[in-house]
């Protein structure tokens, strides 16, 4: 974190005072006063994919007759350059290239992107740099080039090793391509994640078990296991498939916890399981209410300043984003998070961590004292949804089971 030196009384006219000190000296009543800025991450959005999956609500667009790689890369560089004043002097600890399907990018395109990032940003020497990839786009030589360009972690969208379920999910790969993609990842990366989904259309408990067991057999450092959700504005929301009932889904969750625990994985977040010391550092920064700059079509940012925390969103449609970047207008929406919303925003993320958080983290990341959410903490503790002492606040097992209810208790 970046410490912020407090201004001394009577020092506002001193020419040696920093801009931060001057800003803190003239805070409006009720403004935040962060004593340190949180770690900073970079998210880069690649908005194209081969085919839109029926469950997907991300900002992704089917590739039709190719995509304008050169124009988009130029827009990303211009976006990053425009954002520099808001993060000036801050080191970047993780980078995540998501989508869409970033692995559609050419090896030369990815190398250009990473060169721009390294040129413009002070990357930490041990930065975690992740790229999402889908099995239908895996080419061994291209992924060797990705690794040489600086990608040191892959996140592979397997979803299932079962042909019937892959077809139901609209995936472009089959079970053989799924296995082959993991083998290519193992050959080129010592750090990678496998994304799988469960409670799939007409999936049985045994089929879910086979998927998880197959994934574990590859010994990935990290596993993300997501319950299929029928999100609004998706094909599945309009035409809902037959999915396992709540009891079967609960049995699948219990099975997943048992298999991953037996294999030595730590369940450290609602849907995340890691071998010792292999947690996803980029995602941890989200859950710990860290800062992130998002560039690319539809990307979101959360950036802290000494006296306020702002959110931003880029233009969503790729064509509009590239056109607006040429005009120097990359931000479509920007707003300051209100004091009354900060408690909920923090807890919405932090309560996803099974191990919880230290109480002083709340003040560090929000600029508020824990008293701001004392009433809600007491209520959650009384219902058995939350455990807390002077060193730790975390959801109980019951709280993890009813996480949505627990999170909503902090919504004003």
Q: Residue 155: name the closest of 116, 99, 210 by CA.
A: 99
Query: Is residue 58 over pLDDT 80?
Result: yes
- pLDDT level of residue 30 (50, 70, 90 thresholds): low
Distance CA 234, CA 226 (A): 17
CB 264 within 8 A of CB 276: yes
Query: Is residue 7 over pLDDT 70?
Result: no
- Encode pLDDT of 247-301 as tens digits: 999 999 999 999 999 999 999 999 999 999 999 999 999 999 999 999 999 999 9
Query: Is residue 8 over pLDDT 50?
Result: no
- pLDDT level of residue 57 (50, 70, 90 thresholds): confident
Which H, E and C letters describe the chain, residue by residue?
Answer: CEECCCCCCCCCCCCCCCHHHHHHHCCCCCCCCCCEECCEEEEEEECEECCCCCCCCCCCEECCCCCCHHHHHHHHHHHHHHHHHHHCCCCEEEEEEEECCHHHCCHHHHHHHHHHHHHHCCEEEEEEEEEEECHHHCCHHHHHHHHHHCCCEEEEEEECCCHHHHHHCCCCCCHHHHHHHHHHHHHHCCCEEEEEEECCCCCCHHHHHHHHHHHHHCCCCEEEEEECCCCCCCHHHHCCCCCCCHHHHHHHHHHHHHHHHHCCCEEEECCEEECCCCCCHHHHHHHCCCEEEEECCCCEEEEEECCEEEEEEECCCHHHHHHHHHCCCCEEEEEECCHHHHHHHHHHHHCCECCCECHHHHHHHHCCCHHHHHHHHHHHHHCCCEEECCCCEEECHHHHHCHHHHHHCCCC
All structural domains of the chain: 40-285 (3.20.20.70), 342-412 (1.10.10.10)
- Encode pLDDT of 87-111 as tens digits: 999 999 999 999 999 999 999 999 9
- Encode pLDDT of 369-400 as tens digits: 999 999 999 999 999 999 999 999 999 999 99
* CA distances in angstroms from 374 to 87, 240, 369, 371, listed in the order given: 32, 41, 9, 5
- Encode pLDDT of 311-370 as tens digits: 999 999 999 999 999 999 989 999 999 999 999 999 999 999 999 999 999 999 999 999
- In the chain, % of residues over pLDDT 70: 93
Query: Is residue 114 over pLDDT 50?
Result: yes
Distance CA 82, CA 367 (A): 27
Sign of CA dihedral 177, 178, 183, 184: positive
pLDDT for res 14: 36
- Encode pLDDT of 155-213 as tens digits: 999 999 999 999 998 888 888 999 999 999 999 999 999 999 999 999 999 999 999 99
Kindly report the backbone phi and psi dihedral angles of residue 145, in degrees, each rounded to the nearest multiple of 5, phi listed first: -65, -40
- Encode pLDDT of 142-153 as tens digits: 889 999 999 999
Instruction: Look at the chain and count its residues.
Output: 412
């Amino acid at each position: 974190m970046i410490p912020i030196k407090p201004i001394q009384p009577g020092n506002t006219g001193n020419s040696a005072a920093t801009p931060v000190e001057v800003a803190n000296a003239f805070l409006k009543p009720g403004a935040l006063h962060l004593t340190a800025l949180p770690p900073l991450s970079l998210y880069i959005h690649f908005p194209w994919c081969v085919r839109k999956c029926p469950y997907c609500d991300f900002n992704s667009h089917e590739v039709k007759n190719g995509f304008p790689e050169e124009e988009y890369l130029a827009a990303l560089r211009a976006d990053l350059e425009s954002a520099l004043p808001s993060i000036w002097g801050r080191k970047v600890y993780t980078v995540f290239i998501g989508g869409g399907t970033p692995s559609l990018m050419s090896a030369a395109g990815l190398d250009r992107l990473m060169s721009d990032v390294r040129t413009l940003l002070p990357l930490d020497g041990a930065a975690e740099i992740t790229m999402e990839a889908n099995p239908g786009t895996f080419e061994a030589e291209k992924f060797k080039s990705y690794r040489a360009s600086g990608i040191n972690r892959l996140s592979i969208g397997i979803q299932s090793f079962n042909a019937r379920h892959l077809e139901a999910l609209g995936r472009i790969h089959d079970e053989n391509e799924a296995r082959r993609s993991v083998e290519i990842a193992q050959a080129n990366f010592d750090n990678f994640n496998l994304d799988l989904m469960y409670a799939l259309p007409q999936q049985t408990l045994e089929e879910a078990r086979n998927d998880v067991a197959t994934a574990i057999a590859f010994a990935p450092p990290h596993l993300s296991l997501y319950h299929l959700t029928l999100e609004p504005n998706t094909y599945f929301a309009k035409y809902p498939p037959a999915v396992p009932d709540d009891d079967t889904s609960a049995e699948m969750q219990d099975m997943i916890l048992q298999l991953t625990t037996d294999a030595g994985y730590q369940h450290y977040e609602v849907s995340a399981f890691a071998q010792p010391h292999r947690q996803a550092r980029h995602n941890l920064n989200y859950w710990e209410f860290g800062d992130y700059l998002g560039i690319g079509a539809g990307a979101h940012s959360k950036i802290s300043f000494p006296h306020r925390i702002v959110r931003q969103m880029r233009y969503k449609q790729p064509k509009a984003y590239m056109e607006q970047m040429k005009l120097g207008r990359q931000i479509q929406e920007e707003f300051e998070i209100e004091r009354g919303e900060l408690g909920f925003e923090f807890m919405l993320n932090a309560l996803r961590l099974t191990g919880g958080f230290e109480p002083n983290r709340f003040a560090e990341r929000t600029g508020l004292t824990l008293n701001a959410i004392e009433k809600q903490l007491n209520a959650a503790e009384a219902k058995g949804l939350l455990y807390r002492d002077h060193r730790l606040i975390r959801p109980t097992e019951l709280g993890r089971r009813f996480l949505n209810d627990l999170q909503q208790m902090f919504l004003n």
